[in-house]
Structure 1
Amino acid sequence: MRGRTGAVIVGLGVACVSLLSTGSAGAHGYTDAPTSRQQFCANGTVRDCGEIQWEPQSVEGPKGFPGGGPADGTLCAGGNGRFAELDDPRGGQWPATDLTAGRSTTFRWRLTARHATTDFSYYLTNDHYDPTRPLTRADLDPQPFLTVPYDGRTPDATVTHQGTVPAGRTGRQLILAVWTIADTGNAFYACSDVRLSSS
């Protein structure tokens, strides 16, 4: 009897651990326009990416950015140490998407698991940004250049937004996209390296 009771307790413990480990896995997504660092890793364009090459949709971290959220220097990985390769600036040599500042641009998320959503926000680096150093809040404009509210609605599997990258910014920059989940304490983060030209 004692052995059977022990087996039941062990079984319940395993079930609880499984539930806890998957509790935050209800929503996943990443940006592929402009192409994000995790997408470049997943499609093999960039090598030596570690675990993110198999799960580009999993860059999940605490929400509340910029007042809260991941620590400076860990923004591209959402504060998730498993994906620290995304925070490595690689000497400023990440592949970059060519965009024209001041013109309408398409931003697209691929959601492998959908979830009630607060909003999607997009931040652009400022004139102090150094692409050879890990991204910090001081490198970004304090306000997003585009915010799309969802008010708790669940988005489609493919989410497309139109927005205008601020004029007057040129050269190598970075866009930080943040998908804030409404009913958990987390958000998803994606960094897209871009090369801006003037319109």
Structure 2
Amino acid sequence: MTARRWIALAAAGVTGVLIAVLVNVISPTAASAHGAMMKPGSRTFLCWRDGLSPQGNIVPQNPGCAAAVSAGGDNALYNWFGVLRSDGAGRTRGFIPDGKLCSGGNPTYSGFDLARNDYPLTHLTSGANFAWAYNAWAAHPGTFHLYITKDSWSPTRALAWDDLESTPFASIKDPARVGQVGTVDGQYNWNATLPSGKSGRHLVYSVWTRSDSQETFYNCSDVVFDGGNGEVTGVGGGGGGPTTTTTTTTGQNPPGDAHCMAIYKITSAWQGGFQGEVEVMNHSATAYNGWTARWTYADGQTVNSVWNGVRSGSGAEVVVKNVDWNRTIPPEGSVNFGFAVSYSGTNSLPTVTCTSP
């Protein structure tokens, strides 16, 4: 399993070897928006749901999902909302090569370019009005363009640009957003009519272009036009996974402006302990000059050490402030700090918030 897990849970009974970690100075890095089509579900989203277990491991049971992970690695599922190109600038044909549309030409997601007919499938009705949902893990303005495959396309052939109808069947600018960013419940929602005259297997191809940066997202959603109303088949494993998650929450700074995001990750675990990391992200238009992240443990976890941050608070309350070298976070930038924790029994995930002065 990759160490960089966005959705990671430590469970009692997990064993491993604690590897010494060199403490490095962490400099600000570019912070991305995050999101993926949820209705109809993209390949990465539905395969994440298919494989997610109560212990936080992601082991897909669906054969298409398992093949994608085998070919490209499981990091694509721990980061199911990151099928993007930071240099995309809304480009499509001539930028993303044929056969690599579902990964957006991003090597992390190359397994999802595999031509297969057994990915999870959303059942739809041609010409019907449909309630679309796109995850807003990190919210930004932009436009969603929706394409559909031609009748000549086959799921046994990797998607090429000539397999898509030449123009989008719908384009939606800055749709309404509901729920809390940094969670699965944070979503863009809109209604749009599905293409008429379609039957059988198809792909819905979505391109989300941010209007405040060059970042562009590319998603493939496997659908079948058979009179359905959004039902999903082919998702099993650990009960289809949860519909919500609390690994990430946003703080508010100033009140009412939720632009500081804190992402809590468990990077390695062993019997009775784990190592974690929090990424503090600035999604505002101005630089941060200092920051604070805080959470409260519910199961008696004890923080033994913190690096690249200074801890205050006591007991179950954890408050971590910046050190001198990582106090500044530019707009759309981020910094990380790490920590080591011991615990016994259960190890539920905390809700993390962040603020800047």
Q: TM-score, normalised by structure 2?
A: 0.46
Q: CA deviation at 1:198?
A: 6.1
For 2:43, the equivalent position in structure 1 comes to 37
SS at match of 2:198: coil
Judge which range, 132-141 or 37-46, deviates more: 37-46
For 1:66, the equivalent position in structure 2 comes to 92
Does the 8 Å CA contact 1:128/1:139 hold for their aligned counterparts?
yes
- Distance in 2 (alpha carbons) for counterparts of 1:81 and 1:53: 13
For 2:224, the equivalent position in structure 1 comes to 195
Q: CA deviation at 1:68?
A: 4.8
For 2:206, the equivalent position in structure 1 comes to 177
Aligned partner of 1:122: which letter? Answer: L
2:153 paired residue among 123, 129, 136:
129
- Distance in 1 (alpha carbons) for counterparts of 2:210 and 2:82: 13
> 5 Å matches for 1:7-156?
15=27, 18-19=28-29, 23=30, 25-43=31-49, 44=51, 45=62, 46-48=65-67, 49=69, 50=73, 51-61=75-85, 62-90=88-116, 92-117=117-142, 119-150=143-174
- Distance in 2 (alpha carbons) for counterparts of 1:73 and 1:67: 12
**Residues 1:159 and 2:161 aligned together:** no
- Distance in 2 (alpha carbons) for counterparts of 1:186 and 1:68: 17
**Deviating runs (4+, > 4 A) in structure 1?**
153-156
- Distance in 2 (alpha carbons) for counterparts of 1:144 and 1:65: 14
Q: How many residues align?
A: 178
Q: CA deviation at 1:187?
A: 0.7
Q: CA deviation at 1:148?
A: 0.7
Aligned partner of 2:135: which letter? Answer: R
Does the 8 Å CA contact 1:102/1:198 hold for their aligned counterparts?
no
Shift in CA distance, 173/58, structure 1 to aligned 2, threshold 3 Å: same
Deviations 1:82-139 (A, max 9, x none): 110111122x22121110001111211111111232x011100011212111111101
SS at match of 1:135: coil
Aligned partner of 1:70: which letter? Answer: I
Deviations 1:52-85 (A, max 9, x none): 1101011002233434542221111111011101
Does the 8 Å CA contact 2:176/2:188 hold for their aligned counterparts?
no
- Distance in 1 (alpha carbons) for counterparts of 2:167 and 2:139: 26
Judge which range, 131-140 or 47-56, deviates more: 47-56
Hey, which of these two has a bigger chunk of helix by percent? 1
- Distance in 1 (alpha carbons) for counterparts of 2:225 and 2:217: 24
Does the 8 Å CA contact 2:177/2:189 hold for their aligned counterparts?
no
SS at match of 1:160: strand
Aligned partner of 2:126: which letter? Answer: A
SS at match of 2:120: coil
For 1:5, the equivalent position in structure 2 comes to none
Aligned partner of 2:145: which letter? Answer: S
- Distance in 1 (alpha carbons) for counterparts of 2:141 and 2:227: 37
RMSD: 2.2
SS at match of 2:36: strand
Name the structure, 1 or 2, with higher relative contact order (CA <8 Å, separation 6+): 1
SS at match of 1:58: coil
Does the 8 Å CA contact 2:153/2:202 hold for their aligned counterparts?
yes
- Distance in 2 (alpha carbons) for counterparts of 1:112 and 1:159: 10
Q: CA deviation at 1:154?
A: 9.2
- Distance in 2 (alpha carbons) for counterparts of 1:40 and 1:76: 14
Gaps of 5+ in 1: 1-10
Q: TM-score, normalised by structure 1?
A: 0.81
Larger Rg: 2
